[in-house]
Amino acid sequence: MTWHPYDTWIVIIGALAATACALPGCFLVLRRMSLMGDAIAHAVLPGIVVAFVLTQSRASLPMFLGAVVVGIVTAVLTHWVQHTGKVESQAALGVVFTSLFALGLILMDRFASAVHLDLDCVLYGALEIAPLGNRVPLLGLDVPQPVIVNGAMLLVNVGVLTLFYKELKVSSFDPALATSLGINADVMHYLLMGLVAATVVAAFESVGSILVVAMLIVPGAAAYLLTDRLSVMLVLAAVIAIASAVLGHVGAVLAPVVVGYDTLTSGMMAVAAGLLLLVAMLAGPRHGIVSRAIGQLGLGVRVAQQDLLGLLYRLEESRAAKGRGEVGLARRQAMALLALGPVRAWLVLDGLRRREAVQRDAGRYVLTDAGRDEARSLVRSHRLWETYLQQYAGLRADHLHLSAERLEHATDEAMQRELADRTGSPRHDPQGRQIPE
């Protein structure tokens, strides 16, 4: 395993193509048109074949134009079948692109099979050999042609997206608003479709359709999980696309060492993008599965801690009233009453002890002064809520407790004051228990 200069070129080509795809892809993700990329990637086949048959050459420009035309035709046809034909949107897309793809296969079979318009090449790309083709001098460097093609496409995408940033943004998030602002949402739709089609085709030859399909959506999807701002999402998508290209090729270079055989870089790049998406799904700061689980756990622990404080306060109350009863709770009692497992018991009880709301006294947990203040406030919130719910919401007496039990955790001081004002600062709750000050 060694890293050759052409490995660097492969990464550069892959990164350029991936970024060029990821930018318009973000808008596909936002507009819920993610499958359009896959559809166009399949549907352009007849365009490529017809262009080839007409010009009898494998020159890039006619094929490029043919494919872009068919790409836009795909979008128009899908729109027409969906809206005029009243076919469900996914089915409309499916009907159109599979039919066009089948047509392309037959055309190729009839007219182009003799000249090896290689389907495998369209599908897998030829990233491995891309740096070995024509070279073009640029800025004193001998730059492989695919770098120029994909770099140019990236520049076009960046340019168009910058130019129509506001229009695309508004029409993606709020088509009605866009229309009322005088933005033609249809024009934006077909502009985006044209851009996607051009990007797909430009990247085809060097990186293969499969990488294109993955890179259109996966970086955008990952970025969508990491941010709520469109501008940040675009930048993140570009970063993820580049990272996928680098990681993918490193993976491909390492493959012979690990599995004993070479593999295909384009596939590995798609896999790398998938892994990055998985990381974003799990570890995204706000929408990630892990961070949401941690947030839920934290909330659960906080609620359980507050419940425990309330419980200890009520125990003290009843002990003071009756003049007898046990002091505090043993760990096992607390765990049973709050239905805590060992881990959550540790988080709840030791958490409370660490912030000195409770202390251990002869093996039993009792309130500290600070803990008692906190608990008093909670119990006050609870009983004020019970009073309020009875007065204003007309809940039956036996239904008050559960609602108050939930609301007390979300009640701050201001709301407590408001509740007291609304209920006329009562001294006792509906069950006749004293409301602590």
Binding site for other proteins (CB under 8 A): 29, 32-35, 37-38, 42, 81, 84-88, 90-95, 98-99, 101-103, 105-106, 109-110, 119, 123-124, 208, 210-211, 213-218, 221, 224-225, 252, 255, 259, 261-264, 266-271, 273-274, 277, 281, 287, 289
Distance CA 212, CA 201 (A): 9
182 vs 261 by CB, closer to other proteins: 261
Choose between 99 and 179: whose C-beta lies nearer to other proteins: 99
Say how far apart CA 161 and CA 257 lie, in whole Å: 42
C-alpha to C-alpha distance for 404 and 388, rounded to whole angstroms: 9
Nearest distance in Å: CB 100, other proteins: 9
CB 85, min distance to other proteins, A: 5
8-state DSSP, 134: -
What is the sign, positive or negative, of the torsion defined by CA atoms of 250, 253, 258, 262?
positive
Give the pair of three-digit tokens for residue 134: 């024509």
- Cβ of residue 96: shortest distance to other proteins, in angstroms? 9
Angle between helices 185-207 and 145-163 (to 10 degrees): 170
Minimum CB distance to other proteins, residue 147 (Å): 22
Closer residue to other proteins in complex, CB, 81/367: 81
Question: Could you tell me which residues come within 8 angstroms of residue 48 by beta carbon, excluding any fewer than 6 positions away?
Answer: 63, 66, 67, 70, 104, 117, 122, 201
Shortest separation between residue 92's beta carbon and other proteins, angstroms: 8
The smaller minimum CB distance to other proteins, of residues 259 and 320, is found at 259
Q: 209 or 411, CB closer to other proteins?
A: 209
**Shortest distance in whole angstroms from residue 124 CB to other proteins:** 6
Return the C-alpha torsion angle 367, 373, 379, 383, nearest 10: 150
Cα pseudo-dihedral 408, 411, 416, 418, rounded to 10: -120
Among residues 35 and 65, whose Cβ is nearest to other proteins?
A: 35
